[in-house]
Structure 1
Amino acid sequence: MQRKLSPFYILLAAILWGTTGTSQTLAPEAAHPIAIGATRLAVGGLFLLCIVLVVGKLNFKNWPIKPTLWAALSMALYQPLFFTAVTKTGVAIGTVVAIGSAPILSGFIEWIYYKKRPGFIWWCSTFLSILGCVILFVNKESVYVDPVGILMALGGGLSFAIYTLASRGLVEKYSSLSVVAVVFTLSTILLSPILFVFDMSWFTSLRGLSVSLHLGIMATGIAYLLFAKGLIHVSSSTAVTLALAEPLTAALLGVLIVGEFLNLTSWLGIFLLMLGISVLIWSSKSSGSEKELEKVVRSS
């Protein structure tokens, strides 16, 4: 049952991530995007740490330092890299390059480092999802390509791919709650200097506090906990492709809540995104059933 639900945990995590953009539009005007990213990590890290301390699942015995540092550093770097990319080269190009490059980079790293070559269905679903993402975002605004912004976006995609790969190794041996609590606490410490660079007076307002709590608890703490639970039975490359449900959710929320208008081309992008994700979920369920059948045959 856990194996069958794993893709849906990741999908639900991506849906929660997709609320980030809408939440940011509701933040006070004085809130800088990078400061919002740092606040999001701080609130999320504190939330996860409190939960793991209450539950009492934190056990540092033989805890692997190297993958934990890789996961924490990559998550800390993702925030400023992504937000800087969006600022320099626009929301469309920045989002497409960062989110679209992550599945490909994850697949290649998994192929080279873990000797796991992605299957044909993964390539097809990833291609459909990225194509849908490109059509959806590039069609929403004029395209402005900034070389520095592109590099920052690629850095963001690489950071998310490395975080996923490092986290998957951790959740195989330790509880998902412990892993995300430790990783995000370290990420918060690494990114904390940003909180002293930007004006944080907006945080004390009711709207600023509400946005920060939503981003920290729902879109970070709970979302990454679900993502970590899904990683137990889903490969890193598949998980990062499923995470492309994030821009899909953001686009639909933009229509339903913000009042944005999507033309026929944008809806085509949404259809391709949904098709790619559906193919991958179907593939994951099928492979899971095949593995269960194989276990039954071996035990008989």
Structure 2
Amino acid sequence: MQERLAPFFILMAAVLWGTTGTAQALAPDGVHPVAIGAVRMAIAGLFLMGLLLATRSFNPKGWPLTALLMAALSMAAYQPLFFSAVTMTGVAIGTVVAIGSAPVLSGLLEWLFLKVRPARVWWISTVLSIAGCILLFSNQGAVQADPAGIVLALGAGLSFAVYTIVNRKLVQQHPPLSAVAAVFTLSAVMLSPFLFIFDISWVLNLQGLGVALHLGIITTAVAYILFSRGLSHTSSATAVTLSLGEPLTAAMLGVLVLNEALSLLSWLGVGLLLLGIGVLIFSTARTSTRQLADQKTA
């Protein structure tokens, strides 16, 4: 049952991630995006550690320190890389390159270092989903193909791919809540200097506090608990491809909440994204059903 539900946990996480852009749009004017990222990580780390203390579920023994540090560093690096890329290249190019490159990079990293060759259905789903992601952002006005910005966006995609692969090792040895809390607390410490570099007085504003709490608790803490829970029963490459539900959610919220309009090509992109994700979910469910049948006949 856990194996069959795993893709849906990841999709639920992607849906929560997809609310990030809308929440940022509702933040007070003049808030620096890197400051939002640093505040989000700080709130997430405090919230997760509070949950651990309340449930008394943290076990300090048996943690692979190298994997823990790599996961924390990858997640900390993703924030400034992604937001800087978006600033330099625009939302459309920065998002497509960062989010679209992550599944391919994750599949290649698994292939090169873990000797896990992605299945054909993963390639089909990934190509469909990335094509859909590109078309989805085709209505985003003028873009700037800044080479440095594209490199930063690729770095963000690589950071998320590395985090996913390393975090899978953590959630196989520790409960998802413990793994996420440990990683994000360390990431928050790594990003804490940004809290002193950028103005964060907007958090004292009621509107700003609401945005910060939503980003820190809902789109980060809760979302990554769901993602890690699904990741414990899903390959890293599959998990990253399913996370492409994030731009789909962001686009739908833009239409419903921010009154944005999508072009015909963008709606075609929505269809391709849904098709790619659906193919992967169907394949995962079929594989799980086959494995259960084999276990019963064994």
Corresponding residue for 1:271? 271
Aligned residues: 298
Q: CA deviation at 1:138?
A: 3.1
Q: Which amino acid aligns with 1:188?
A: A
Report the Cα distance in structure 2 between the residues aligned to 1:49 and 1:17, rounded to whole angstroms: 21
Residues 139 and 262, structure 2, Cα contact 8 Å, conserved in 1 = no
Corresponding residue for 2:181? 181
Greater alpha carbon shift after TM alignment, 61-70 vs 287-296: 287-296
SS in 2 for 1:54: helix
Q: Gaps (5+ residues) in structure 1?
A: none
Q: Which amino acid aligns with 1:3?
A: E
SS in 1 for 2:31: coil
Q: Which amino acid aligns with 2:234?
A: V
Residues 30 and 202, structure 1, Cα contact 8 Å, conserved in 2 = no
Q: Which amino acid aligns with 1:95?
A: T
Residues 255 and 261, structure 2, Cα contact 8 Å, conserved in 1 = yes
- Residue pairs, 1:76-87, within 5 angstroms: 76-87=76-87
Corresponding residue for 1:118? 118
Corresponding residue for 1:67? 67
SS in 1 for 2:257: helix
Q: Does 1:129 align with 2:129?
A: yes
SS in 1 for 2:103: helix
Corresponding residue for 1:281? 281
Residues 254 and 260, structure 1, Cα contact 8 Å, conserved in 2 = yes
Q: Which amino acid aligns with 2:79?
A: Q
Q: CA deviation at 1:3?
A: 1.1
Report the Cα distance in structure 1 between the residues aligned to 2:13 and 2:166, rounded to whole angstroms: 18
Corresponding residue for 1:15? 15
Report the Cα distance in structure 1 between the residues aligned to 2:135 and 2:144, rounded to whole angstroms: 15
Corresponding residue for 2:24? 24
Q: Which amino acid aligns with 1:297?
A: T
- TM norm structure 1: 0.98
Corresponding residue for 2:105? 105
Q: Gaps (5+ residues) in structure 2?
A: none
Q: Which amino acid aligns with 1:203?
A: V
Query: How many percent identity over aligned positions?
Result: 59
Corresponding residue for 2:225? 225
Report the Cα distance in structure 1 between the residues aligned to 2:278 and 2:205, rounded to whole angstroms: 41
SS in 2 for 1:57: coil
Corresponding residue for 2:168? 168
Q: CA deviation at 1:2?
A: 1.1
Q: CA deviation at 1:30?
A: 2.5
Report the Cα distance in structure 1 between the residues aligned to 2:136 and 2:6, rounded to whole angstroms: 27
Q: CA deviation at 1:31?
A: 1.1
* RMSD of aligned Cα (Å): 0.7
Residues 38 and 194, structure 2, Cα contact 8 Å, conserved in 1 = yes
SS in 2 for 1:240: helix
Corresponding residue for 1:93? 93
